[in-house]
Amino acid sequence: MADTYYRLPLDLEGIVARQQLPRCSAQESIAQHLYLLLTTHFGESRYDAGFGCQVWEQDFEAMTTLRWKDSVQQSIEEAIRTYEPRLVRARAQVAITDFELKNVSQRIRKRLDVSVMAVLHRTNEPFAFQASLFVAPLSVD
């Protein structure tokens, strides 16, 4: 059972009904966990106030500075080292782009693109993860 990974979000009704929950691979489980780290702000988890990353602690007006990107990149890498022991040698890259939303009153929003390159601890296989988040306010691509 040590290598059993469940797909998120968990089906709580299925748990109560004692149904088999959907499972996923180790790589998909890690990707889901990284995504959860990215979309969680510090203090949101009642069991560990340090779970999350610094993206949501920053002023979005200052997002385009090199200092902001370096700070967020370091925060993501530290979160991976702390909360994802299945990965080693993780390196994150952060990019901010302006994204024009057509059909929504022609608004331009900032999109945070995060990519992570790492190695699976158990097998030394390369691992890659990419996610895009629209920030200020948060929404998911």
Instruction: State both tokens at 35.
Output: 């995504």
Domains of the chain (ranges; CATH) run 5-140 (3.10.450.40)
Express each pLDDT in 11-35 by its tens digit.
888 889 998 888 999 999 999 999 9
Give 131's strand partners.
114
Dist CA 64 CA 83 (whole Å): 27
Express each pLDDT in 63-73 by its tens digit.
667 788 888 89
State the pTM of this model. 0.83
